[in-house]
Structure 1
């Protein structure tokens, strides 16, 4: 029973915030599309600042764990492959739809749900593995799988090299990627 209470008390604040947001929109205290502005603020300013602050105070040895990166990447690719293959052969989805479903299946909701929960549970100790998760998702998996989705669509005949260059260019504009890089920058 003690573990159940701990789980409830851990998850309850997240669902309370979701409920408050729902009520605020329902009662028109916030406009219908205000979630976009709030999410943009959190993703572009709040989370990158928290990550940078946490990482910049630690040495690279305290943060970087290659085994975690490899295992998380491999696990995500296995789940992606399973979901994509099941979608393609059993659900009879197109290759592009299968890639998109695989992408959805292999990504955890680490930013909006995962981060508040693990930070509540583990405080600053959670930030290093959490940033490694973001690193894998944003710098390895997302570019790879979105490039695969574009290739599987077959709409444009563009070389893999040009697609990867375009992906790298888009990543260079991502604030979260910059904060990850600055946080890991050797001191």
Structure 2
């Protein structure tokens, strides 16, 4: 019970505060959009740049950690697409959008604060290692899969589709923040020079604002997503995101790769997060399975309060 009260509840209280004030009309849709734009386009990229710049690359990028997390993500993606197509009889684009909901966990806005509250700021190295390739890799996979389905029978080359997907991903603020973090890391290691103190201080100020602003804004965004659509598909997305993905990460991390405690925690807790708002944005971008995506984000986020509690109890 202490994990629920001390670790999970504060994070969801901030998120819930944003939900309630939006529901009561005390925070307008325009204000929510502005806050999320600040968080996602500026504050969170600075947080990623600062965190990755400080990573010990020789120890953080553990192959077992990465395989444990991403094997679970890709398995959930494949199951989600197959079930949506075969069981729920959805179109190809709808199936990819639903699969993307199973693939893209909210590793940053929920995974980081919950891991930090549970295990402390020193436990986040594995989280940031996963996040450093999370958006670039998964968006590329999702976009290539969607474009391949949409271009089936048209003769469009998959290599061209992949190139366009990569260019689109490289222009996103989160990925730019990640690349800046690696650039700072390389600068420090190759030249022995560091950024000036005032620059680090400014980055710290922006980074400290990132997660509270993003969580509050996320509550306002979730208020817009009324639970509607195919109930069975929503349940499937929630189960794959909250149980199957972290379950695979735990089995591989514990029994196959024998990860140390910190790495196992990072892999499983990051995998146990509900689909992020990016899952809905992806569906909305292609006009595919938008109601299922929006409802899955909301329902799975609410359900994750209990499933995260269970995973925290299972982990060492």
Counterpart of 2:178? 180
Say yes or no: does 1:170 pair with 2:168.
yes
Say yes or no: does 1:107 pair with 2:137.
no
Distance 1:46 1:122 in 2: 23
Match of 1:137 among 134, 154, 163: 134
Counterpart of 1:92? 89
Cα distance change of structure 1 residues 117 and 136 upon mapping to structure 2, 3 Å threshold: same
Counterpart of 2:55? 58
Counterpart contact for 1:51–1:127, Cα < 8 Å: no
Alignment of 1:39-58 (within 5 A): 39-58=36-55
User: What RMSD over aligned residues (CA atoms) do the two structures have, in Å?
Assistant: 2.1
Counterpart of 1:153? 150
Cα distance change of structure 1 residues 182 and 127 upon mapping to structure 2, 3 Å threshold: farther
Cα distance change of structure 1 residues 44 and 120 upon mapping to structure 2, 3 Å threshold: farther
Counterpart contact for 2:136–2:170, Cα < 8 Å: no
Tell me the CA shift for residue 38 of structure 1.
1.7
- Structure 2 unpaired stretches of 5+: 190-316
Distance 1:145 1:8 in 2: 36
- Per mean C-alpha deviation after superposition, the further-off stretch among 130-139 and 164-173 is 130-139
Q: What is the CA deviation profile of residues 76-106 of structure 1, one whole-angstrom value per residue up to 9, with x for unaligned ones?
A: 1111111111111111111211111111012
Distance 2:17 2:40 in 1: 20
Tell me the CA shift for residue 157 of structure 1.
4.5
Distance 1:35 1:92 in 2: 35
Q: So what's the TM-score if we normalise by structure 2?
A: 0.53
Secondary structure of the structure 1 residue equivalent to 2:28: coil
Distance 1:67 1:108 in 2: 19
Counterpart contact for 1:119–1:126, Cα < 8 Å: yes
Counterpart of 1:21? 18
Q: So what's the TM-score if we normalise by structure 1?
A: 0.86
Distance 1:134 1:57 in 2: 14
Distance 2:62 2:39 in 1: 26
Counterpart contact for 1:80–1:102, Cα < 8 Å: yes
Secondary structure of the structure 2 residue equivalent to 1:23: helix
- Structure 1 unpaired stretches of 5+: none
Say yes or no: does 1:68 pair with 2:60.
no
